[in-house]
Structure 1
Amino acid sequence: MLSLCIQVFAVLAVCSADTDKRDISYTFRAWNIDQPLKEQLAVVYKEMESLKHEQAVMKQKQEALSQALPYCSQKPIDTDVEMNLTSLQTGSSHLPYTLTQGEDGAEGSGEDDSDEALDPCFHYTVLDQAWRATNYSTKKVSCDRSVQWKGWYRLFYRGKTIQMPERCVKKEMCGTHAPLWLVGGHPRIRDGVVTRKVCGNWRNNCCLFKSPPIQVKACQGNYYVYKFVRPEACHLAYCADINTLVCGKCKKSESCISRDKITWMCKKNKMRVKANVHFFATYPASISGKVNTIVYRKVYVNQGEAFNARTGVFRAPFSGVYQFFFSTQTGGSGTTDLWLVVNNYWVAVSHSNVQGSNSVGNLSTYMTTLRKGATVYVTQNRGRSWATSASNTIAFGGSLLMVRKI
């Protein structure tokens, strides 16, 4: 009987603790096994009654909270109350979320990652308040000085992502007297966290109120997070540009742009050209005398297909910076010269002068900037170069180091 009661007590304690682990924790009260059975049971029953009481209190709190939320969402909030209940207005939410990005830039599963642990793009507070919109005229004046700002925020309008305006907003809009707008524009993703000035429009002066700077970061998925701070005066409030609602519809491969900061559109990002051009070829036999163009027949690498094995000529597929190398093995007495020819100009030489029966290897390199379509090849002006099918001593190769507009 005692063991059964103890098991029941343990189950009740665990289930009750799991109801809300943030507010409730239980510690088993130890009793002496040597005590009489009646006294041991009394201790168990007392603990069970205590648990039942705490469960009843917690249930009352949950019911009160459920009743309070709908009431607060319908009832206008005074400025004094707004300090603690900025989110409890019509169409508003002010809840912390931990988000991750999917492949299409949408909000993902929320799984933690070491790089995401400190990234504000994944740890922010949702700020969805319709009165912050640039098309919302002042009815009940709000002031962000009374808000206890903490951490990073992402702006929404009725559940859709939105961003701060980048141009002056008329006074008496955004639910306040002097609307706050972002000076200097939003950053790019590669800029990381940046600091931007914030101005408030009043008395025909777009920046009469210079609010303390805020931090901004661009995130994958065409949205931004802001580290808001308290303005220095009332009544000032951060604006949400209603014109930027289209930005939330942009794909991962698109950017949200605007020339006049009024009409926004999604534009496909330009594809970056990858510098993926490499080649390496050899001549598998000896060469004597003058050869206008050495045809390197044995090709090991031809990434980008820019080298022609039938002609021995490399043709630049992109404008940019290239590096080339060419080598030879001189056999027998005399002078041997191999030249690198770029657009029919002799630009670099591999020179050797061997006496007697000696053999000398020589490797030359050359770096230059080429336009798309430029030709490069190697010619032997004089002498004798020695090679076999396995030696790879007569070689020619190169790589595109960097794409560059010329």
Structure 2
Amino acid sequence: MHIKMVVLAVALFVILSSCAVECWNTNSEMERLRCEQTTLHQQQDALAQMRLGCHQDRAKKEVGTNILTYGAVDEEDDSLHVSEEDSRKQGDPCFHYTVLDQAWRATNTTTSYKRCDRNVKWNGWYRLFYNGKSIQMPERCVPVDKCGTNSPLWLAGPHPKRRDGIVTRNVCGHWKKDCCAFKSTPIQVKKCLGNYYVYKFTQPTSCRLAYCADINTLVCGRCRRNQSCVSQDKINWRCKTKKRILSNPQIHFFASYPGQLTGKVNRIKYSKVLVNMGRAFNRGTGVFTAPVKGVYQFFFSTQTANTNLKTDLWLVVNGYWVAVSHTHVFRPSTVGNLSTYMTFLRKGAVVYVTHNSGRSWANGSSMTITFGGSLLAQWK
């Protein structure tokens, strides 16, 4: 297109230059005016040709990519333009497919004239539509005489995820109460960005078989990039927002009890929380709940000053007493103890500290009755 514009621009320059010289050499005022009018007409014609060339090139480009007008690119994500160009260069079928919008293929359609996809010359990849709306093949057995044929073809396997790339799936045809009476030639399937699928259809093994378009999956074309189309019965579909998974969650907490504890305290409620990254520690209950599966390390401490008195604090994990912080004072003095414990926890595991016996003391600044922990490594 740029070369054509340059050529036309040069031609226009030559025409104007020659006419300008001729007009300059004309003695008569009338002839000079007539020459200038001729130059103006030639200029308009040249500009019209340039515009026509631009429109033709643009039209050719649109015709070559008209398959993208059905939402192959999510307009909400500008970062997709680069990957889109890369995909086109690599021949990604998500951007190079044929639209297959035939209402008779719908799973709720019955016609007197029975179609046969064996007579179709399948070539390349196809995307299913129903009245201009994106749709996909059924993953369940379709009743006989639906989809405009005798034996409807359905996908005998789940649709792939995007990370699976291009996969091969078997295709079955329902006939005489046998959902897979006809085991047709396998096809290739790929999931594309934008919650739609493309299929590389092949000729079925026999006639009066046709590929189906599941009318129940119309909702799938409305799912956003952060949603997936899910169904429990493969009939009723809905858009479900994908859960955001933390790649490297930061889980740390440190709390203290600024007071005295005596005797049996089933669960210490550490009211002074200094660090609570990830908000997995509950100030009101004194319980830490593991937000992800992984390896955790905990520490807890006590301080006592009563002669001949034993003080025990236990770390409790999912109801099991797993580690103790023990002190025993034999003479008038004060003794403290800090214990640590490392373990593997599943998501939802609960951890707390119990005061089993003795007497512990602390104040607002001593930090002698403490409880803390961190996630060391997440297990995916």
Pairwise TM-score range, normalised by the shorter structure: 0.5 to 0.7
Change (3 A) 1:398 1:229: farther
Distance in 1, matches of 2:280 and 2:241, equals 27
- Tell me, yes or no, if the aligned pair for 1:328 and 1:386 is still in contact at 8 Å: no
Residue-pair matches, total: 318
Percent identity over the alignment is 36
Task: Deviation per CA, 1:307-330: give whole Å up to 9, x if none.
Answer: 32xx78225487977845115599
The aligned amino acid for 1:200 is G
Change (3 A) 1:230 1:193: same
Task: Deviation per CA, 1:57-100: give whole Å up to 9, x if none.
Answer: x99xx8xx99xx9xxxxxxxxxxxxxxxxxxxxxxx99643932
For structure 2, the residue ranges without an aligned partner over 5 or more in a row are 12-45
Change (3 A) 1:290 1:299: farther
Q: Partner of 2:98 in structure 1?
A: 126
Distance in 2, matches of 1:181 and 1:370, equals 39
For structure 1, the residue ranges without an aligned partner over 5 or more in a row are 1-7, 17-51, 70-92
Task: Deviation per CA, 1:177-230: give whole Å up to 9, x if none.
Answer: 544221134345566544321023456654333222223234454432223234
Quick one: which of 194, 217, 235 aligns to 1:244?
217
1:166 equivalenced with 2:124 (yes/no): no
What pairs up with 1:96-175 in 2 under 5 angstroms? Answer: 96-97=67-68, 99-103=72-76, 111-113=81-83, 117=87, 122-130=94-102, 131-134=104-107, 135=109, 137=111, 139=113, 141-144=115-118, 146-150=120-124, 152-169=125-142, 174=147
Distance in 2, matches of 1:113 and 1:221, equals 13
Distance in 2, matches of 1:203 and 1:291, equals 73
Distance in 1, matches of 2:98 and 2:80, equals 15
Classify the secondary structure of the residue corresponding to 1:166.
Answer: coil
Give the TM-score of the pair, scaled to structure 2. 0.56
- Tell me, yes or no, if the aligned pair for 1:174 and 1:237 is still in contact at 8 Å: yes
Distance in 2, matches of 1:178 and 1:343, equals 56
Q: Partner of 1:313 in structure 2?
A: 286
1:349 equivalenced with 2:324 (yes/no): yes
Give the TM-score of the pair, scaled to structure 1. 0.54
Quick one: which of 6, 22, 38 aligns to 1:11?
6
Considering only aligned residues, what root-mean-square deviation do their CA atoms show, in Å?
A: 5.8
Distance in 1, matches of 2:8 and 2:96, equals 35
Classify the secondary structure of the residue corresponding to 2:217.
Answer: helix
- Tell me, yes or no, if the aligned pair for 2:151 and 2:209 is still in contact at 8 Å: yes
- Tell me, yes or no, if the aligned pair for 1:138 and 1:174 is still in contact at 8 Å: no
The aligned amino acid for 1:245 is L
Classify the secondary structure of the residue corresponding to 2:340.
Answer: strand
- Tell me, yes or no, if the aligned pair for 1:160 and 1:248 is still in contact at 8 Å: yes
The aligned amino acid for 2:282 is F
The aligned amino acid for 1:266 is R
The aligned amino acid for 1:159 is G
